[in-house]
Structure 1
Amino acid sequence: MRKVVLITGGSSGIGKSIGSYLAARGFTVYGTTRSKAKYPNFDAFNLVELDVRNTETIAQAIATVLSIEGRIDVLINNAGVGITGPIEETPNEEIVNAFMVNFNGPISVMKAVLPQMRKQKAGLIINITSIAGYMGLPYRGIYSASKGALELVTEAMRMEVKDFGVQITTVAPGDFATNIASGRYHAPVLEDSAYKKAYGNSLSMMDEHVDSGEDPIQVAEKVLAIIHTKKPKVHYRVGAFMQKFSLFLKKILPDKVYEKLLLNHYKL
């Protein structure tokens, strides 16, 4: 039986890469987008409308998939938004929006899918987080916090749902060559800002990292491997060696030494 996969934020970037990769390997894939009208010629896999900030659209999208397929075997919570800026100068409504999309949104989608997975006595949820979620990065603090929060919620929910045959895990990508930078909110570099020079330099560096990032197909390969794993681990990381190595260093180095490494890396 073909497994039915639902991917939030499936119309571009990592979500589209995962969807296309799985569809080519015999899975029935539904990706979500906030506006189907923006993608009139999209034919990589099925698209349904869903905004993770709106529980009505979540319920509607899941009902649509279930009415056609009768089941959802794998949920991939991939929809996310980038946000950069000095925290002092980042508007509160942008901070709230980032958490609505990156944290509250995935929880809302999980809550909507879990009753069906419990009924099936089987299901897999993969939350796409970020290596940035393991450390507080300068000028990316809100993004780091929203992704880090999703890592912790996943740890808790795994234990809550284990008796229902449902497995939950996270995949934390490093920098991948996608269009995330174009859709990212970044606080403007203000002329009279105390952070002007440091933030301006950091912003340029972040864009370079995304442009020279790894191929998102690596994330798709990891997702497929997890789907075929009987007992997935709690967390997975995908990315360049140095990005993954930085997590190992964070575990073993004193906090101030690790902070010094980050300051040197970002030239702060």
Structure 2
Amino acid sequence: MSKVVLITGASSGIGKSIATFLSERGYKVYGTSRKPKNIEDVNFELIPLNVLKVDTIQSAISYILNKEHTIDVLINNAGMGITGPVEETSTDEMRSVFNTNLFGAIDVMKAVLPQMRSQKSGLIINVTSIAGYMGLPFRGIYSASKGALEIVTEAVSMEVKNLGINVVNVAPGDFATNIAAGRYHAPVLENSAYKEKYQENLDLMDAHVDSGMNPIEMAKAVYKIINTKKPKIHYKVGEFMQKFSIVLKRILPDQVYEKLLMNHYKL
């Protein structure tokens, strides 16, 4: 029997690449999208799910269980980006990002755990971000939302390990996707003290995405995790320096590390 995989946010980017890759290798993949009817050219079944609406989460899971009677793997990939100086970013927009990146992922986990407990097996992979390991200028809220999911993953992992369920996270660096198109950008204000540096960093972020790695590398990493008997809790997928930045934060004095980041972002 091929494993049944549920992956949120599978209509584009990293999510679509993972879903396509797994489907090609014989997995029974159910991808989700808020508007699946608008998506074409996929080799897996795409079903409606909005992580902000618990009723749609329950409906999607019930649909899969009615057909397959199991969910072996959940890949929590749905998320959104946000940029802006903290001072000038709408707090409502901040809450929206946390509702999607953190609470939405938690609600999907809560919805699949009863089934995984009953079958005494399961794997949950939360897609976080290397940005979640550090506070980045003009991306502080995004970093915080992904960092929070990393910590929640650690807690849930311990809570369900003895029930036969593994919970891990995989943190991507910069990948060549359309994430910038769906990101909330706080406006660059004409009279802002941050105007020049914020605009420079917006341009830098877009350049990093455009020159980022192929999303297929994330798909390969997820495939490897699924086929690991005793997976780790934390995985990072990205360029060497992006992954090494996490090591540097661990070993360098705070002020030295901050200076390195400020130099990188030309602050």
Mark yes or no: TM-score above 0.5: yes
The yes-or-no answer on 1:33 pairing with 2:33 is: yes
Percent of aligned positions that are identical: 66
1:194 positional shift: 1.1
The yes-or-no answer on 1:223 pairing with 2:222 is: yes
1:43 positional shift: 2.9
Where in structure 2 are the equivalents of 1:139-150 lying within 5 Å? 139-150=138-149
Deviations 1:169-196 (A, max 9, x none): 0000000000000000010101111110
The yes-or-no answer on 1:14 pairing with 2:14 is: yes
Residue type of the partner of 1:191?
A: E
The equivalent of 2:50 in structure 1 is 51
What CA distance in whole angstroms lies between the structure 1 residues aligned with 2:55 and 2:266? Answer: 45
What CA distance in whole angstroms lies between the structure 1 residues aligned with 2:109 and 2:261? Answer: 34
Residue type of the partner of 1:175?
A: D
The equivalent of 1:23 in structure 2 is 23
1:46 positional shift: 0.4
Deviations 1:92-121 (A, max 9, x none): 111010001100000000000000000110
- SS of equivalent to 1:32: strand
Deviations 1:138-192 (A, max 9, x none): 0000000000000000000000001110000000000000000000001010111
1:68 positional shift: 0.8
Residue type of the partner of 2:59?
A: Q
1:44 positional shift: 2.0
- SS of equivalent to 1:62: helix
Residue type of the partner of 2:169?
A: T
The equivalent of 1:207 in structure 2 is 206
Deviations 1:194-242 (A, max 9, x none): 1101101111000000000001111111101111111110100000011
Deviations 1:233-265 (A, max 9, x none): 010000001100111111100000000000000
Residue type of the partner of 1:27?
A: Y
C-alpha RMSD of the superposition: 0.6
What CA distance in whole angstroms lies between the structure 1 residues aligned with 2:201 and 2:87? Answer: 16
Residue type of the partner of 1:135?
A: M
The equivalent of 2:135 in structure 1 is 136
What CA distance in whole angstroms lies between the structure 2 residues aligned with 1:134 and 1:44? Answer: 34
The equivalent of 2:77 in structure 1 is 78
- SS of equivalent to 1:139: coil
What CA distance in whole angstroms lies between the structure 2 residues aligned with 1:88 and 1:44? Answer: 44
- SS of equivalent to 1:221: helix
1:37 positional shift: 2.6
- SS of equivalent to 1:161: helix
Q: Which runs of 5+ in 2 are unaligned?
A: none
- SS of equivalent to 1:44: coil
Residue type of the partner of 2:256?
A: V
TM-score (norm 1): 0.99
The yes-or-no answer on 1:2 pairing with 2:15 is: no
What CA distance in whole angstroms lies between the structure 1 residues aligned with 2:19 and 2:259? Answer: 39
What CA distance in whole angstroms lies between the structure 1 residues aligned with 2:4 and 2:80? Answer: 25
Residue type of the partner of 1:244?
A: K
- The answer (yes or no) to whether the contact 2:20–2:42 under 8 Å persists in 1 is no
> Which structure 1 residue ranges, 4+ long, deviate > 6 Å from structure 2?
none
The yes-or-no answer on 1:181 pairing with 2:201 is: no
What CA distance in whole angstroms lies between the structure 2 residues aligned with 1:191 and 1:240? Answer: 35
The equivalent of 1:92 in structure 2 is 91
Bigger CA drift: 132-141 or 192-201? 192-201
TM-score (norm 2): 0.99
- SS of equivalent to 1:103: helix
Deviations 1:50-95 (A, max 9, x none): 0001101000010011111110000000001010000111111110
What CA distance in whole angstroms lies between the structure 1 residues aligned with 2:92 and 2:17? Answer: 30
What CA distance in whole angstroms lies between the structure 2 residues aligned with 1:233 and 1:77? Answer: 17
What CA distance in whole angstroms lies between the structure 1 residues aligned with 2:37 and 2:67? Answer: 21
Residue type of the partner of 2:6?
A: L
What CA distance in whole angstroms lies between the structure 1 residues aligned with 2:42 and 2:130? Answer: 31
